[in-house]
Amino acid sequence: MEGLNPLDILIHIINFIVTFVLLYLLLYKPVSKFMHKRRESVEQALADAAATRAEADAYLAEAKAELAATGEKARRLSHEAIENAALDAERIVDTAQDEADALLQKAREQMRQEKQAAIERAHTEVVGLASDIAARILSREVTLEDNREIAERFFHGTEGGA
C-alpha cells in the first residue's frame, strides 16, 4: 500500500467543503426558498379555500333559512286558503239551506191555502146541493095555507116595525 498523502487528504477535505458550500449556496438555499414559497402559497390556497367554504356555508345557511321561511309562509297561506274555502262552503250551505227552508215554507203555505180553498168550495157545493133539495121539497109541499101564513107574518112583522 502506498502511503497516504496528507496533502491529498487536505485537498479532498477542502474540495468536499467547497463542494458542500457551493451546494449549500447554489442548491440548498434556492431549493429551500422555493419550498418555503411553495408552502406559503399552499397555505394561502388552503386559507382561501377555508374562507370560500365558510362563505359557502353561510350562503347555504341563509338559503336554508329562506327556504324554511318560504315553506312556513306557504303553509300559512295554504291554511288560510283552506279555512276560507271551508267558510265559503259553510256559507253556501247555510244559504242553500235557508232557501230550501223558504221554498218549503212557501210550498206548505200554498198547500194550506189550496186545501182551504178546496174545503170552502166543497162547503159551498154541499150547501148548494142542500139548498136545491130544500127548494124542490118546498116547491112540492107548499100549500095555500102556508102562503096565507107567510103573508100574515109579513104584515104583522111590518106593523110592529112601522
Partner 1 sequence: MSTVRKNPILRIAPPYDDALLRRIEKGFADMLGFGVQFDVREDPSLLCGFIAYIRGTVYDASGKTQLSGVSAYLVDAMNTPVHAPEQEGSA
Residue 77 or residue 151: which is nearer to partner 1 going by CB? Answer: 151
CB of 110 to partner 1, least distance (A): 19
* Measured distance CA(82)–CA(88) in Å, rounded: 10
* Measured distance CA(146)–CA(129) in Å, rounded: 24
CB of 161 to partner 1, least distance (A): 10
Tell whether residue 109 is a contact of partner 1 (CB under 8 A).
no
Helix residue ranges per DSSP H, the chain? 6-23, 29-141, 144-161
Question: How far is the CA of 68 from the CAs of 64, 79, 84, in angstroms?
Answer: 6, 16, 24
Size of the site for partner 1 (CB under 8 A): 27
Tell whether residue 37 is a contact of partner 1 (CB under 8 A).
no
Kindly report the CA angle at 115 between 117 and 118, in degrees rounded to 5? 45
Cell of 126: 154541499
Tell whether residue 4 is a contact of partner 1 (CB under 8 A).
no
Tell whether residue 118 is a contact of partner 1 (CB under 8 A).
no
Q: Which residue of 1, 3, 143, 160 would you call a contact of partner 1, by CB under 8 A?
A: 143
Binding residues for partner 1, per CB under 8 A? 119-120, 123-124, 127-128, 130-131, 134-135, 138-139, 142-144, 146-148, 150-155, 158-159, 162
